[in-house]
Amino acid sequence: MLIDVHNHFYPPDYLDAIRSGDSIIRLTIDPEGNPCLHYPGDYNVAVEGHRDIVYRQRVLEREGVDTQIITLTTPGPHVEPPDRAVRLAGSVNDEFAEIVRERAPRFGALATLPLCDPAASVIELRRAMTELGLPGAMLFSNVNGVALADPRFDPLYAEADRLGAVLHIHPTDPVGVEAMTDYWLMPLVGFLFDTTLAAAKLVFAGVPERYPNIKWVLSHLGGAIPYLAERLDRGWRAFPDCRANISKPPSEYLRRFYFDTVNFDPYALRLAVDFAGAGQILAGSDYPHQIGSIPQMKESLSALRVSEDERKAIMGANAAGLYRLGAATAAA
Protein backbone atom coordinates (compact mmCIF):
# COMPACT_ATOMS: atom_id res chain seq x y z
CA MET A 1 0.00 0.00 0.00
CA LEU A 2 1.33 3.41 -1.02
CA ILE A 3 -0.51 6.57 0.06
CA ASP A 4 0.84 9.93 -1.08
CA VAL A 5 -0.28 12.70 1.30
CA HIS A 6 1.52 15.66 -0.30
CA ASN A 7 0.51 16.46 -3.87
CA HIS A 8 -1.57 19.14 -5.54
CA PHE A 9 -4.53 19.61 -7.85
CA TYR A 10 -6.19 22.70 -9.34
CA PRO A 11 -9.91 21.94 -9.88
CA PRO A 12 -11.20 23.05 -13.30
CA ASP A 13 -13.74 25.51 -11.87
CA TYR A 14 -11.02 27.19 -9.81
CA LEU A 15 -8.78 27.64 -12.85
CA ASP A 16 -11.75 28.89 -14.87
CA ALA A 17 -12.48 31.52 -12.21
CA ILE A 18 -8.89 32.74 -12.34
CA ARG A 19 -8.92 32.81 -16.16
CA SER A 20 -12.14 34.80 -16.16
CA GLY A 21 -10.64 37.53 -14.00
CA ASP A 22 -12.56 36.55 -10.86
CA SER A 23 -9.27 36.66 -8.96
CA ILE A 24 -6.33 38.90 -8.17
CA ILE A 25 -3.94 36.10 -9.19
CA ARG A 26 -1.93 36.82 -12.33
CA LEU A 27 -2.25 33.97 -14.82
CA THR A 28 -0.16 33.51 -17.96
CA ILE A 29 0.14 30.67 -20.48
CA ASP A 30 3.45 28.97 -21.18
CA PRO A 31 4.59 27.84 -24.68
CA GLU A 32 3.07 24.37 -24.11
CA GLY A 33 -0.33 25.87 -23.30
CA ASN A 34 -0.14 25.31 -19.53
CA PRO A 35 -1.59 27.95 -17.19
CA CYS A 36 1.02 29.59 -14.92
CA LEU A 37 -0.16 31.01 -11.59
CA HIS A 38 2.13 33.73 -10.26
CA TYR A 39 2.78 34.91 -6.71
CA PRO A 40 5.73 36.63 -4.97
CA GLY A 41 8.99 34.86 -5.67
CA ASP A 42 7.52 31.90 -7.54
CA TYR A 43 4.98 30.62 -10.03
CA ASN A 44 3.34 27.26 -10.57
CA VAL A 45 3.03 25.70 -14.00
CA ALA A 46 -0.30 23.87 -13.98
CA VAL A 47 0.66 20.88 -16.12
CA GLU A 48 -1.80 18.19 -17.16
CA GLY A 49 -1.41 16.31 -13.90
CA HIS A 50 -2.46 19.42 -11.96
CA ARG A 51 -5.78 19.82 -13.76
CA ASP A 52 -6.90 16.59 -15.44
CA ILE A 53 -8.04 14.01 -12.92
CA VAL A 54 -8.44 11.24 -15.53
CA TYR A 55 -4.86 11.69 -16.72
CA ARG A 56 -3.70 11.85 -13.11
CA GLN A 57 -5.43 8.59 -12.20
CA ARG A 58 -3.62 6.87 -15.05
CA VAL A 59 -0.30 8.16 -13.68
CA LEU A 60 -1.09 6.77 -10.24
CA GLU A 61 -2.06 3.39 -11.65
CA ARG A 62 1.18 3.27 -13.64
CA GLU A 63 3.30 4.30 -10.65
CA GLY A 64 1.60 1.98 -8.17
CA VAL A 65 0.19 4.72 -5.92
CA ASP A 66 -2.94 3.39 -4.24
CA THR A 67 -4.23 6.74 -2.92
CA GLN A 68 -3.37 10.40 -3.14
CA ILE A 69 -4.66 12.93 -0.61
CA ILE A 70 -5.12 15.90 -2.94
CA THR A 71 -4.82 19.51 -1.84
CA LEU A 72 -4.87 22.89 -3.52
CA THR A 73 -1.58 24.73 -3.59
CA THR A 74 -0.18 28.24 -3.76
CA PRO A 75 -1.19 31.03 -4.19
CA GLY A 76 -4.42 29.90 -2.43
CA PRO A 77 -7.77 31.65 -1.86
CA HIS A 78 -6.49 33.63 1.15
CA VAL A 79 -4.77 36.12 -1.19
CA GLU A 80 -8.20 37.23 -2.45
CA PRO A 81 -10.67 39.66 -0.86
CA PRO A 82 -12.65 37.76 1.82
CA ASP A 83 -15.92 37.40 -0.11
CA ARG A 84 -14.11 35.97 -3.13
CA ALA A 85 -11.91 33.76 -0.93
CA VAL A 86 -15.02 32.23 0.66
CA ARG A 87 -16.57 31.55 -2.74
CA LEU A 88 -13.41 30.05 -4.27
CA ALA A 89 -12.62 27.87 -1.24
CA GLY A 90 -16.15 26.49 -1.24
CA SER A 91 -15.94 25.71 -4.95
CA VAL A 92 -12.61 23.92 -4.53
CA ASN A 93 -13.95 21.82 -1.68
CA ASP A 94 -17.08 20.87 -3.60
CA GLU A 95 -14.94 19.70 -6.53
CA PHE A 96 -12.56 17.80 -4.25
CA ALA A 97 -15.46 16.05 -2.55
CA GLU A 98 -16.88 15.06 -5.94
CA ILE A 99 -13.54 13.59 -6.99
CA VAL A 100 -13.39 11.56 -3.79
CA ARG A 101 -16.99 10.34 -4.22
CA GLU A 102 -16.37 9.28 -7.80
CA ARG A 103 -12.83 7.95 -7.52
CA ALA A 104 -12.20 6.65 -4.00
CA PRO A 105 -10.10 4.88 -2.90
CA ARG A 106 -7.70 6.33 -5.49
CA PHE A 107 -8.21 9.84 -4.07
CA GLY A 108 -8.87 11.48 -0.74
CA ALA A 109 -8.68 15.23 -0.13
CA LEU A 110 -8.12 17.98 2.41
CA ALA A 111 -10.22 21.12 2.38
CA THR A 112 -9.06 24.59 1.41
CA LEU A 113 -10.08 27.43 3.75
CA PRO A 114 -10.61 31.18 3.18
CA LEU A 115 -8.00 31.94 5.82
CA CYS A 116 -8.14 35.71 5.29
CA ASP A 117 -11.59 35.43 6.97
CA PRO A 118 -11.08 33.34 10.13
CA ALA A 119 -14.79 33.25 11.02
CA ALA A 120 -15.70 31.99 7.54
CA SER A 121 -12.90 29.42 7.83
CA VAL A 122 -14.58 27.94 10.90
CA ILE A 123 -17.81 27.54 8.95
CA GLU A 124 -16.07 26.07 5.90
CA LEU A 125 -14.03 23.59 7.94
CA ARG A 126 -17.20 22.40 9.66
CA ARG A 127 -18.99 22.05 6.31
CA ALA A 128 -16.04 20.26 4.71
CA MET A 129 -15.78 17.73 7.51
CA THR A 130 -19.43 17.15 8.46
CA GLU A 131 -21.14 17.53 5.07
CA LEU A 132 -18.43 16.74 2.50
CA GLY A 133 -16.69 14.04 4.53
CA LEU A 134 -13.16 15.46 4.29
CA PRO A 135 -10.82 14.69 7.23
CA GLY A 136 -9.45 18.20 7.67
CA ALA A 137 -7.79 21.04 5.83
CA MET A 138 -4.53 22.33 4.47
CA LEU A 139 -3.31 25.58 6.04
CA PHE A 140 -0.78 27.89 4.45
CA SER A 141 2.20 28.68 6.67
CA ASN A 142 1.21 32.33 6.93
CA VAL A 143 -1.88 34.23 5.86
CA ASN A 144 -0.84 37.34 3.98
CA GLY A 145 1.95 37.81 6.52
CA VAL A 146 -0.13 36.89 9.60
CA ALA A 147 1.24 33.98 11.64
CA LEU A 148 -0.88 30.86 12.11
CA ALA A 149 -0.27 31.31 15.85
CA ASP A 150 -2.15 34.63 15.82
CA PRO A 151 -5.10 34.61 18.27
CA ARG A 152 -7.51 35.43 15.44
CA PHE A 153 -7.26 31.76 14.42
CA ASP A 154 -8.13 30.37 17.86
CA PRO A 155 -11.82 29.81 16.95
CA LEU A 156 -10.67 27.79 13.93
CA TYR A 157 -8.42 25.63 16.10
CA ALA A 158 -11.18 25.18 18.65
CA GLU A 159 -13.46 23.82 15.93
CA ALA A 160 -10.67 21.69 14.45
CA ASP A 161 -10.01 20.29 17.92
CA ARG A 162 -13.70 19.50 18.43
CA LEU A 163 -13.81 17.69 15.09
CA GLY A 164 -10.45 15.92 15.47
CA ALA A 165 -9.24 17.50 12.23
CA VAL A 166 -6.06 16.88 10.29
CA LEU A 167 -4.38 20.25 9.63
CA HIS A 168 -1.56 20.00 7.10
CA ILE A 169 0.70 23.06 7.03
CA HIS A 170 2.00 23.90 3.57
CA PRO A 171 4.39 26.80 2.94
CA THR A 172 3.65 29.91 0.95
CA ASP A 173 5.71 33.01 0.22
CA PRO A 174 7.31 34.07 3.50
CA VAL A 175 7.73 37.50 4.99
CA GLY A 176 10.99 38.80 3.52
CA VAL A 177 10.37 37.14 0.17
CA GLU A 178 12.05 40.07 -1.59
CA ALA A 179 15.40 38.61 -0.49
CA MET A 180 14.58 35.28 -2.20
CA THR A 181 13.56 36.20 -5.72
CA ASP A 182 16.70 34.99 -7.53
CA TYR A 183 17.91 31.41 -7.96
CA TRP A 184 14.45 30.11 -6.94
CA LEU A 185 15.47 30.69 -3.32
CA MET A 186 11.89 31.28 -2.21
CA PRO A 187 10.69 27.70 -2.86
CA LEU A 188 14.12 26.17 -2.23
CA VAL A 189 14.84 27.91 1.10
CA GLY A 190 11.98 30.23 2.03
CA PHE A 191 9.35 27.50 1.91
CA LEU A 192 11.25 25.29 4.32
CA PHE A 193 11.90 28.01 6.85
CA ASP A 194 8.38 29.40 6.72
CA THR A 195 7.10 25.94 7.69
CA THR A 196 9.73 25.77 10.43
CA LEU A 197 8.76 29.21 11.72
CA ALA A 198 5.04 28.40 11.64
CA ALA A 199 5.48 25.15 13.58
CA ALA A 200 7.82 26.65 16.17
CA LYS A 201 5.56 29.65 16.79
CA LEU A 202 2.45 27.47 17.08
CA VAL A 203 4.17 25.38 19.73
CA PHE A 204 5.59 28.30 21.72
CA ALA A 205 2.18 30.01 21.56
CA GLY A 206 0.64 26.92 23.14
CA VAL A 207 -1.71 26.03 20.29
CA PRO A 208 -1.02 22.25 20.29
CA GLU A 209 -1.23 22.21 24.10
CA ARG A 210 -4.62 23.96 24.14
CA TYR A 211 -6.02 21.94 21.24
CA PRO A 212 -4.63 18.40 21.66
CA ASN A 213 -7.09 16.68 19.30
CA ILE A 214 -5.73 18.39 16.17
CA LYS A 215 -3.51 16.16 14.04
CA TRP A 216 -0.78 18.43 12.67
CA VAL A 217 1.12 17.51 9.49
CA LEU A 218 4.20 19.43 8.32
CA SER A 219 5.22 19.59 4.67
CA HIS A 220 8.70 18.90 3.31
CA LEU A 221 9.80 16.79 6.29
CA GLY A 222 8.95 19.65 8.64
CA GLY A 223 11.37 22.09 7.02
CA ALA A 224 14.20 22.25 9.56
CA ILE A 225 12.20 21.10 12.61
CA PRO A 226 13.92 17.70 13.15
CA TYR A 227 17.30 19.44 12.82
CA LEU A 228 16.50 22.43 15.06
CA ALA A 229 14.25 20.91 17.74
CA GLU A 230 17.09 20.61 20.24
CA ARG A 231 17.77 24.34 19.89
CA LEU A 232 14.10 25.12 20.49
CA ASP A 233 14.30 23.06 23.69
CA ARG A 234 17.34 25.07 24.79
CA GLY A 235 15.36 28.24 24.20
CA TRP A 236 12.55 26.88 26.38
CA ARG A 237 15.02 26.30 29.20
CA ALA A 238 16.85 29.61 28.75
CA PHE A 239 14.09 32.17 28.16
CA PRO A 240 11.05 32.65 30.42
CA ASP A 241 8.82 33.85 27.57
CA CYS A 242 9.46 30.54 25.79
CA ARG A 243 7.89 28.80 28.79
CA ALA A 244 4.96 31.18 29.19
CA ASN A 245 2.41 29.15 27.21
CA ILE A 246 3.68 25.58 27.35
CA SER A 247 4.39 23.16 30.17
CA LYS A 248 6.87 20.92 28.34
CA PRO A 249 9.84 21.41 26.00
CA PRO A 250 8.85 22.16 22.38
CA SER A 251 10.19 18.85 21.09
CA GLU A 252 7.59 16.96 23.12
CA TYR A 253 4.81 18.64 21.12
CA LEU A 254 6.66 18.52 17.81
CA ARG A 255 7.21 14.76 18.11
CA ARG A 256 3.42 14.39 17.95
CA PHE A 257 3.32 16.18 14.61
CA TYR A 258 3.39 14.19 11.37
CA PHE A 259 6.07 14.83 8.75
CA ASP A 260 5.64 14.14 5.04
CA THR A 261 8.58 12.75 3.09
CA VAL A 262 8.97 15.49 0.49
CA ASN A 263 12.70 15.45 1.08
CA PHE A 264 14.16 12.67 -1.00
CA ASP A 265 17.43 12.26 0.92
CA PRO A 266 17.28 8.96 2.87
CA TYR A 267 19.64 10.39 5.51
CA ALA A 268 17.32 13.34 6.13
CA LEU A 269 14.39 10.92 6.29
CA ARG A 270 16.29 8.84 8.83
CA LEU A 271 16.80 11.95 10.99
CA ALA A 272 13.04 12.57 10.98
CA VAL A 273 12.37 8.94 11.91
CA ASP A 274 14.89 9.19 14.74
CA PHE A 275 13.27 12.42 15.94
CA ALA A 276 9.56 11.55 15.78
CA GLY A 277 9.38 7.79 15.19
CA ALA A 278 8.29 5.90 12.10
CA GLY A 279 4.66 6.19 13.18
CA GLN A 280 4.74 9.96 12.50
CA ILE A 281 6.14 9.83 8.96
CA LEU A 282 3.91 9.97 5.87
CA ALA A 283 4.87 9.37 2.24
CA GLY A 284 4.66 12.41 -0.02
CA SER A 285 5.75 13.26 -3.56
CA ASP A 286 4.85 16.93 -4.27
CA TYR A 287 3.49 15.67 -7.61
CA PRO A 288 3.08 17.20 -10.16
CA HIS A 289 5.19 20.27 -9.34
CA GLN A 290 8.46 20.66 -11.22
CA ILE A 291 10.34 19.94 -8.00
CA GLY A 292 8.18 16.94 -7.05
CA SER A 293 8.55 13.32 -8.10
CA ILE A 294 6.65 10.09 -7.46
CA PRO A 295 9.63 7.93 -8.58
CA GLN A 296 12.00 9.81 -6.25
CA MET A 297 9.54 9.45 -3.39
CA LYS A 298 9.50 5.69 -3.93
CA GLU A 299 13.27 5.41 -4.37
CA SER A 300 14.02 7.36 -1.19
CA LEU A 301 11.58 5.28 0.85
CA SER A 302 13.09 2.08 -0.52
CA ALA A 303 16.57 3.29 0.48
CA LEU A 304 15.51 4.36 3.98
CA ARG A 305 17.09 2.23 6.71
CA VAL A 306 14.07 1.06 8.69
CA SER A 307 12.42 -2.28 9.37
CA GLU A 308 9.94 -3.57 6.82
CA ASP A 309 7.08 -2.99 9.25
CA GLU A 310 8.22 0.61 9.68
CA ARG A 311 8.51 1.04 5.91
CA LYS A 312 4.96 -0.23 5.44
CA ALA A 313 3.75 2.22 8.09
CA ILE A 314 5.48 5.15 6.39
CA MET A 315 4.35 4.17 2.90
CA GLY A 316 0.69 3.87 3.77
CA ALA A 317 -0.50 2.42 7.06
CA ASN A 318 0.08 5.64 9.02
CA ALA A 319 -1.86 7.69 6.47
CA ALA A 320 -4.72 5.18 6.21
CA GLY A 321 -5.48 5.71 9.89
CA LEU A 322 -4.79 9.43 10.02
CA TYR A 323 -6.94 10.34 7.02
CA ARG A 324 -9.69 7.89 7.96
CA LEU A 325 -9.46 6.03 4.67
CA GLY A 326 -11.88 3.19 4.11
CA ALA A 327 -11.33 -0.52 4.42
CA ALA A 328 -10.93 -0.81 0.65
CA THR A 329 -7.86 1.43 0.73
CA ALA A 330 -6.44 -0.22 3.83
CA ALA A 331 -6.66 -3.58 2.09
CA ALA A 332 -5.04 -2.38 -1.15
Contacts of 310 (CB under 8 A, 6+ apart): 273, 278
On whether the CB atoms of residues 57 and 64 are closer than 8 A, the answer is no
pLDDT at 22: 83
Closest CA to 192 of 238, 226, 232, 233: 226
Kindly report the pTM of this predicted structure.
Answer: 0.95
How do the domains of the chain map onto residue ranges?
3-323
pLDDT at 77: 96
pLDDT at 294 over 70: yes
Q: What is the pLDDT of residues 25-59, one digit of tens each?
A: 999 999 999 999 999 888 999 999 999 999 999 99
Q: What is the pLDDT of residues 39-48, one digit of tens each?
A: 988 899 999 9
Q: How is domain 3-323 classified at the CATH fold level?
A: TIM Barrel (3.20.20)
For 88-93, which contacts have Cβ atoms below 8 Å and span 24 or more sequence positions?
A: 88/14, 88/17, 88/22, 88/23, 88/114, 89/113, 89/114, 89/124, 90/124, 90/127, 91/11, 91/13, 91/14, 91/17, 92/11, 92/13, 92/14, 93/124, 93/127, 93/128, 93/132, 93/134
